[in-house]
Amino acid sequence: MTRTMKGIAFAIAEAIDQEMAERPDIVVLGEDVTYWGAVFGFTLGLYQKYGRDRVIDTPITEQTFFGMAAGAASVGMHPVVSLMFVDFLGAGFDQMYNHIAKNHYMSGGQFAMPVTILTAIGGGYGDAAQHSQVLYGLFAHVPGFKVVVPATAYDAKGLTISALRDSNPVVIFGHKLLTGLPFLPFEGQEEEVPEERYTIEFGEAAVRREGSDLTMIAAGLMVHRCLRAAEELARDGISAEVIDLRTLVPLDSETLVTSARKTGRVLIVDEDYQSYGMTGEIAFRVQAGALDALKAPIRRLAVPDVPIPFSEPLESAVIPSVERIVNEAKTLLAAGARA
């Protein structure tokens, strides 16, 4: 049975609910996870069903509730922890990157760290420099985290169930403009989502649109902007392929290289900061497998290396828009037509 669902928030909450119903090891921890569903909806409805024994509002103490997650995981629990805005990682990152991400390795494989972290990312609604970042590149850089960035409700549910069945730390980055919540703009699409449980394998990128002139690679919200850009490009007779990474760690290099070899031109679009981030890593992997097939240097569009500014024209100037994606794609197509 399927039904129409708007946005990733309800899909994530449903996935947690369905796993919690059968799994006593799962508990939900974080700020505002009861009444407000972790603010961005990822835990909506769980408190009403499971009560405060299993859905626990914590004091505003990120390092402590992430440390508690590490300790609880070390004795067999599977904590689901909300990091409300990813921007708050600084308040608890030590427990995440030095402990949750490393204890399995450091212990010689003795201590599993099955911790699922839920966090909201992204700007585009005027929340400025400390509430609009993406930052998945920081997590992807540190060994030990699986990095999941769902772009659709279908993926959000299946990837979340996979995360809850994984004995490793998994961070799910849900874009605020894809949540489907009434108080935020929505840039996703309503879609059919099965009621029953299903999983989506990590490390399998999805080709969202097939094309032959160039490949656009993105994650999260930027997948939708690339798809809109591809529609505009199609009106000019340009055929763009759009790939949704779905997970940054593990990364499906094969699908990226295959597409790059097919189209010969690659544009990477990212809402994270540009330097030392996802775009550079993807570019490296693509060239390593497809250099001889590339017809032009790889291009990228990301947040230039500035914080996210507040005022609307300033914010729009730094977060990649459909219009700027189209322009980048056209620049790429005009570039050095090597035979």
Partner 1 sequence: MWKPEPSLADLRYTVEKAGLSPETLLAAYRQMCLIRSFEETIADRYYIGKTPQFNMAAGPIRGEMHLAVGQEAVAVGVGMHLREPDAVVSTHRPHHHVLAKGVPADKLAAEIFGKVTGLCRGKGGHMHLFDAEHRFSCSGIVGASFPQAAGAAFAFRHRGEPHVAVAFAGEGAANHGTLAETLNAAVLWRLPLVIVIEDNMYADSTPKWQALAQPHQFQRALGFNVPSYLVDGMDLIDVWRVAKDAIERARAGYGPSLIEAVCYRYRGHFEGDGEEYRTREEVERWRQLDPIPRLAEWLKRLGWADDTTLERLRREAEEEVARAVAFAEQSPLPDPQEALVGVFR
The nearest distance, CB 165 to partner 1, in angstroms, is: 12
Helix axes 8-20, 153-164, angle to 10 degrees: 30
Both tokens assigned to 83: 């990091």
Catalytic residue flag (residue 131) = yes
- Closest to 200 measured CA to CA, from 156, 240, 261: 156
Q: How far is the CB of 39 from partner 1 (least distance, A)?
A: 20
Strand duo 240-244 + 206-209: pairing:
antiparallel
Q: Which amino acid is at 45?
A: G
User: Which of 61/130 has CB closer to partner 1?
Assistant: 61
For partner 1, give the closer residue by CB, 106 or 317.
Answer: 106
DSSP result, 88-150: GGGGTHIIIIIIITTHHHHTTT-S----EEEEEE--SSS--TTSS---HHHHHHSTT-EEE--
Q: Which chain residues interact with partner 1 by CB under 8 A?
A: 27, 53, 56, 58-59, 61, 63-77, 79, 94-95, 98-99, 103-112, 143-144, 146, 167-168
Judged by CB, which is closer to partner 1: 84, or 325?
A: 84
The active-site residue out of 99, 131, 175, 224 is 131
Kindly tell me which of 25 and 191 has the beta carbon lying closer to partner 1.
25
DSSP states along 220-278? THHHHHHHHHHHHHHHTT--EEEEE-SEEES--HHHHHHHHHHHS-EEEEEEEESTTSH
**Which one, 109 or 182, has the nearer CB to partner 1?**
109
- Distance of alpha carbon 228 from alpha carbon 199, whole angstroms: 27
Nearer to partner 1, 49 or 304 (CB): 49
Name the minimum Å distance from CB 292 to partner 1.
Answer: 29
Nearest alpha carbon to residue 26 among 13, 8, 40: 13
Q: How far is the CB of 204 from partner 1 (least distance, A)?
A: 16
Rounded to whole angstroms, how far apart are CA atoms 142 and 262? 32
Are the C-beta atoms of 301 and 267 separated by less than 8 Å? yes
Tokens 């420099």 found at: 129
Which residue from 151, 159, 86, 160 is spatially nearest to 122, judged by alpha carbons? Answer: 86
CB of 87 to partner 1, least distance (A): 19
- Residue 302's φ and ψ, nearest 5 degrees, are -145, 180
Least CB distance to partner 1 at residue 98 (A): 5
Please state the closest distance from residue 166 (CB atom) to partner 1, in A: 8
Cα–Cα distance, 7 to 228 (Å, whole number): 17
Mind telling me the catalytic residues?
A: 131
